[in-house]
């Protein structure tokens, strides 16, 4: 009788352990590779063309659940002083109080709150903090690809774009009516940890 109880106890313990390992294995955590990830911006210049730029310093992580796609999450931090529009004087102005005010607000962040699949699209809901203002945003994330890299690691890549109003984040320097909104692009490549 004791032997039967022992065997049943071991069987139950093994089942619980296997279940917990299975649940743990479903969650994949990724560190954003800053040399292959980019946060970009695009804004109208006088309504005649588009000014393009990016932030050179990005950090963050994301997680995926292979069994529950809506359990995914992402966190991104950008150093605002790393703004790069390929023009030194313009970048100096973008870092000033007229725009990013990088001394007062050295970071911009995005933190997801919910990831949902709807109508075949992956929609990410979260909070964007820019210029000291936090606002809820929603955007579609598109998987670019994933697989083994040449160094023995495993990577996943995603892209997303988001349109914001500058004034919503307290950046109201007059650039004309065509420049009230701007597009942010998020292109991330993560290395599985």
Q: Compute the residue count for the chain.
A: 193
Flag whether 124 is in a domain.
yes
Flag whether 6 is in a domain.
no
Using CA atoms, how far apart are residues 87 and 106, in angstroms rounded to an integer? Answer: 20
Count of domains for the chain: 1
Q: What is the mean pLDDT of each run of 10 residues along the chain (193 residues)?
A: 44 40 69 97 93 97 82 95 98 97 98 91 96 98 96 96 97 92 98 98
Flag whether 120 is in a domain.
yes
Instruction: Tell me the pTM.
Output: 0.84
Q: What is the mean pLDDT of the chain?
A: 88
Note the pLDDT of residue 137.
98
Note the pLDDT of residue 71.
80
Flag whether 4 is in a domain.
no
| Burial class (CB within 10 angstroms; exposed 0-12, middle 13-18, buried 19+) of 39 | buried
| Burial class (CB within 10 angstroms; exposed 0-12, middle 13-18, buried 19+) of 110 | buried
List C-alpha distances in Å: 52 to 44, 83, 110. 9, 11, 20
In the structure encoding, which two tokens stand for residue 163, read together? 């349109």
What pLDDT, in 10s, does the model give residues 35-57?
999 999 999 998 899 999 999 99
Note the pLDDT of residue 25.
54
Flag whether 73 is in a domain.
yes
Domain that holds residue 61: 26-192
> CATH code at 79?
2.40.128.110
Note the pLDDT of residue 120.
85
Flag whether 122 is in a domain.
yes
Note the pLDDT of residue 26.
80
Dihedral over Cα of 28, 16, 117, 168: its sign? negative
Flag whether 127 is in a domain.
yes
Flag whether 12 is in a domain.
no
Residue carrying structure tokens 């890549």:
157
Dump the DSSP string for 49-104. Answer: EEEEEEES-EEEEEEEESS-GGG-EEEEEEEGGGEE-S-HHHHHHHHSTTTT-TTT
The answer to whether residues 121 and 93 touch, using CB atoms and an 8 Å cutoff, is no
Of the candidates 186, 182, 171, the one whose C-alpha atom is nearest the C-alpha of residue 77 is 186
């Amino acid at each position: 009788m004791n032997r039967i109880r022992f065997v049943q106890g071991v069987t139950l313990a093994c089942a619980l352990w296997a279940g917990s390992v299975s649940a743990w294995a479903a969650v994949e955590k990724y560190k954003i590779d800053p040399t292959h990830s980019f946060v970009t911006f695009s804004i109208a210049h006088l309504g005649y063309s588009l000014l393009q730029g990016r932030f050179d310093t990005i950090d963050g992580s994301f997680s995926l659940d292979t069994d529950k796609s809506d359990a995914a999450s992402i966190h991104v931090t950008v150093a605002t002083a790393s703004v790069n529009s390929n023009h030194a004087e313009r970048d100096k102005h973008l870092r000033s109080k007229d725009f990013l005010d990088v001394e007062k607000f050295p970071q911009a962040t995005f933190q997801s709150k919910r990831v949902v699949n709807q109508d075949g699209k992956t929609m990410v809901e979260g909070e964007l903090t820019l210029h000291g203002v936090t606002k809820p945003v929603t955007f579609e994330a598109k998987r670019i690809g994933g697989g083994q890299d040449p160094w023995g690691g495993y990577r996943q890549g995603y892209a997303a774009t988001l349109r914001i109003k500058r004034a919503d984040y307290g950046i109201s320097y007059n650039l004309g009516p065509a420049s009230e909104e701007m597009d942010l692009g998020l292109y991330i490549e993560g290395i599985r940890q």
